Amino acid sequence: MELNEYWLSEDLRVKGLGTKLLDQLEAIAKQKGAKKALLTTFEFQARSFYEKRGYQVVGEIKDYPPGSSYYTMVKVLR
């Protein structure tokens, strides 16, 4: 499973909607036989959100954009 363009507006955050959507996407991916989920994010966006849900950083581009980092993250779907 590769997750693209997953974004919630500020007023929808911290209400659990992002977690519910991610859980549903992962469940569908597992049903279809996916073993891993892959996504990219920026430091200033959602790295900590994904880490709390079991994603691990497997790649980093430092200082992109300047003052931040761009991450590739993966989660093993069990």
Give me the helices (H) in 1-78, please. 17-31, 47-52
The answer to whether residue 31 sits within a structural domain is yes
The answer to whether residue 4 sits within a structural domain is no
The answer to whether residue 18 sits within a structural domain is yes
The 10s digit of each residue's pLDDT in 14-57 is: 788 888 889 999 999 999 999 999 999 988 778 999 999 999 99
Whether residue 66 is preceded by a cis peptide bond, meaning omega within 30 degrees of 0, is: no
pLDDT given for residue 13 in this prediction: 75
pLDDT given for residue 8 in this prediction: 76
Q: Which structural domain, as residue segments, surrounds residue 14?
A: 10-76
Spatial separation of the C-alpha atoms in residues 78 and 67, rounded to whole Å: 35
pLDDT given for residue 46 in this prediction: 87
Residue 4 has pLDDT above 80, yes or no: no
The answer to whether residue 35 sits within a structural domain is yes
The answer to whether residue 29 sits within a structural domain is yes
- Burial state string for 52-63 with b = 16 or more CB within 10 A and e = fewer than 16: ebebeeeeeeee
Number of domains in the chain: 1
Residue 1 has pLDDT above 70, yes or no: no
Output the domain CATH number for residue 35: 3.40.630.30
The answer to whether residue 5 sits within a structural domain is no
The answer to whether residue 2 sits within a structural domain is no
